Structure 1
Amino acid sequence: MDNIEVLVCDDSSLMRNMISRIVDSAEGMHTAGTAMNGKFCLQKIPLLKPDLILLDIEMPEMTGVQFLEERKKLGIDIPVIILSSIATKGAAVTMQCLELGASDFITKPGGSVSVNITSVGSSIIEKIASYGGKYARAHGKNIASPEVFVHQAKLKEAEAAAVKEGIISKIKPSETKPEPLPATLWTPPHKEPAVITPLRQSGPIDVVALGISTGGPNALREVFAKIDPKFSKPILVVQHMPAGFTKEFAASLDKICPLKVKEAEDGDLIHPGQIYIAPGDFHIVVQKSTLCNVIRLSKEDLRNGHRPSADVLFESVAKLYKNRALGVIMTGMGRDGAAQLAEMRKQGARTLGQDEKSSIVYGMPRAAWELGAVQKQVSLENMAAEMSAVIKEQAGV
């Protein structure tokens, strides 16, 4: 197995050291080098040939934003993950970084220099495995699937927690749950999809429900930039994203989308031709109303480890809209959305899933496909057009 080579760029020597330790603790990942600002990072790229760059924003001489601007001018396609502050200002700058071509971001707990950075270690591993792994494979490397890296990270977290609590002095991988995956497992095996027999025929579509996770920020930018200005149905979106960032994310999408995009609020009327982004740390559901259906937010327990959860949205849409809905599941780690997209299909809704080739992580779409929940797999490039085509087809246009 080859390594995913990572370049860490942060002005704090403490942060560079701690982040490098997190990277090097994962089998199959390696810190190729470090840089104290964007200028040195640019100089080291040709020498180190990294598969991914972890980038701080606030740095002397050349900031993260300035680095991304220069990266864009030079045509460098190495994926960049931003290490961001959770402050409001940090959220705005983080969205600016996404607009400049960064792939995703991770929040630093406690500010720009965070001794608690290890608390997001599994998130760092997941992002590297997802974006860096895809880039490395595209350049001829043999890299394990993102699920393998995440599984290993969870085993180490379980070991650390057990040792910290004094349960045991040393935990063996065989004693942890879930069981370790085979080292030779590069990608999960493909399964034939189950067969779902809908309870009713699909009808004209009144709403679109979309679930997405890892790889989502840039995927949604592409889909919504291409969407038909005459798209007349409301779109409800669950993008796994922490609280404090979804409002700025919705605003950044609104700049490039011909439809109105906003962060969903409790009690919002669901208007045609508008896009509603679930706020971080809130589930989003639909509720029947006399004149116009409305959005409700809730702080109920996490579902599939997430809040918001795609399963919660899909379940709600299946109950209220039944066969008059379109469900879409896109790139993301895990299985969130798969089970309830299958329920949407059972109720007669139309369904689409992003294909493996264009997904950063094919976890959520794969799980939905294997359950028989996805009628058609579509590339990211064609997703906006396919959504419009399904709407028109169901309307008999």
Structure 2
Amino acid sequence: MTIKVLVVDDSALIRTVLVHMLVVDSDIEVVGTARDPIDARQKIKALNPDVVTLDIEMPNMNGLEFLDRLMRLRPTPVVMVSTLTTKGARETLLALELGAVDFVAKPDGNLEGALELFGAELRDKIRAAATSDVGAHTQRRDRPKAAIQTAAGPEGALIAIGASTGGVEAVRAVLCAMPADCPPILVAQHMPAGFTSRFAARLDSLCAVTVIEAEDRLALRTGHAYVAPGDYHLRVERRSGQLRCRIDQRALESGHRPSVDVLFASVAQSLGALGVGVILTGMGRDGARGLKQMRDAGAHTIGQSRASSLVYGMPRVAHEQGAVVEQAPLEDIAQRLASALGRIRPAA
């Protein structure tokens, strides 16, 4: 099936570049372009695109304001085309909260081959967006979610969470429902360098747990969550009875850095049955192998349900490979984590 795309950007040059990048593959058709949100509104009505690419800084109406109106009046899969700046990162994260499926950071023109990689990533994310159910996702996002009262586990327990497309909001939903007495939480979210510090800061402002970007050799603490830095793998390591973060830039695993497989495999090796793993919405298969290692090591593992996943890719592969003990709707995952932690037997 051909995916119909509308490109929205105030720059004629950027619109032309994006169109050329998208039509490289025969399964994507650019049905139109728009120079601003006013133009885009009319063309969405006339062309009924499957996916919209959207810039933020545009005349007549800010892209974020337009996105908010679009999601409320005519939910449509949107992929943001963002600038790799502090301001761009902040606004992109807000766009994901408003309902955008994913984002692609505009490349630095000085990087050799950056445009080709940017185009490939944009096409992949448009394909994922085309399979998403943004209408149902928007309705679930607007429902209030109650925080659980306690999630204390035995000494040495740890929660590992992996996510990709749609994961920014899914991770937020889980972490904001976790209480301050929970064990340390490690998060591998597919996100480029320059965005994860803002992501962690945003979560920290919303959640009872303290959320920070992980640093190498940082000791893990109760009531804290550690987000893998963009373009770095995150592992957990046990040294002299102390759990610590380890970050590095070893080769990509499962096509990603940070890789969910890398995080989960380290939890399986270092914690065994004291770990609890969660695989959330995302395209691809990253995390399935590592989650299976966790389950084989005695850990309890949870996969996000199909109905509540914006993109049921990573959780589906994990379920099909026998890596998931139970599947659960997003709004129930924090409570399932608390229940799993309560069943863990303390290490001898």
The equivalences for 1:1-397 within 5 A come to: 1=1, 3-71=2-70, 74-110=72-108, 117-135=115-133, 206-225=157-176, 227-290=177-240, 292-394=242-344
Shift of residue 350 of structure 1?
Answer: 0.8
Matches of 1:391 and 1:38, distance apart in 2 = 47
Other structure's SS at 1:99 match: helix
Aligned equivalents of 2:205, 2:74: Cα separation in 1: 25
Aligned CA distance change for structure 1 residues 218 and 380 (closer, same or farther; 3 Å): same
Offset, 1:16: 1.2
**Secondary structure of 2:132 counterpart:** helix
Q: For 1:311 and 1:81, locate their aligned partners in 2 and report how far apart those are by CA, in whole Å.
A: 25
Look up the equivalent residue of 1:123 and give its one-letter code: E
User: Partner of 2:52: helix, strand, or coil?
Assistant: strand
Contact 1:130 1:360 in 2 (8 A): no
Q: 1:28 to 1:137 in 2, by over 3 A?
A: farther
**Residue 395 of structure 1: CA displacement?**
6.4
Q: Is there any run of 5+ residues in structure 1 with no aligned partner, and where?
A: 139-202
Where 1:384 maps in the other structure, the secondary structure is helix
Matches of 2:102 and 2:26, distance apart in 1: 22
Q: Once the 2 structures are TM-superposed, how far is the Cα of residue 269 of structure 1 from its aligned partner? A: 1.6
Moved more, 360-369 or 238-247: 360-369
Deviations 1:297-341 (A, max 9, x none): 112121112111112111211121111110111222222222221
Asked whether the equivalents of residues 133 and 310 of structure 2 are also in contact (C-alpha less than 8 Å), the reply is no
SS of the residue corresponding to residue 97 of structure 1 reads helix
Maintained 8 Å contact 1:207/1:233: yes
Aligned-residue offset at 1:117: 4.0
CA distance in 2, matches of 1:334, 1:45: 29
Does the C-alpha gap of structure 1 residues 135 and 48 become closer, same or farther in structure 2, counting only changes over 3 Å? farther
CA distance in 1, matches of 2:330, 2:42: 33
Distance 1:295 1:104 in 2: 27
Give percent identity, aligned residues only.
44
* Number of aligned residue pairs: 327
Q: Which amino acid aligns with 2:309?
A: S
Given the two structures, how large is their TM-score scaled by the length of structure 1?
0.75
In the alignment, is the contact (CA less than 8 A) between 2:77 and 2:132 conserved in 1?
no
1:205–1:366 distance in 2 versus 1, CA, 3 Å: farther
The two structures have a TM-score, normalised by structure 2, of 0.85
SS of the residue aligned with 1:134?
coil
Per-residue CA distance 1:24-57 (angstroms, 9 max, x = gap): 3333332222111122222322222222210012
How far 1:136 moved relative to its partner? 9.4
Are the counterparts in 1 of residues 3 and 130 from structure 2 also a CA contact under 8 Å?
yes
What secondary structure sits across from 2:191 in the alignment?
A: coil
Question: What is the Cα deviation at residue 137 of structure 1?
Answer: 11
| RMSD (Å), alpha carbons | 2.6
Rounded Cα–Cα distance in structure 1 between residues aligned with 2:242 and 2:313? 35
Distance (whole Å) between structure 2 residues aligned to residue 98 and residue 361 of structure 1: 14
1:149 alignment counterpart:
none
AA partner of residue 38 (structure 1): P
Is the Cα contact below 8 Å between 2:101 and 2:134 reproduced in 1? Answer: no
* Residues 139-189 of structure 1, C-alpha deviations (whole Å, 9 max, x = no match): xxxxxxxxxxxxxxxxxxxxxxxxxxxxxxxxxxxxxxxxxxxxxxxxxxx
CA displacement at 1:351 relative to structure 2: 0.7
When Rg is computed on C-alpha atoms for both structures, the one with the higher figure is: 1
> Does structure 2 retain, via aligned residues, the 8 Å contact 1:4–1:136?
no
Structure 1 residue 231: deviation in Å?
5.0
| Mean Cα deviation higher: 243-252 or 228-237 | 228-237
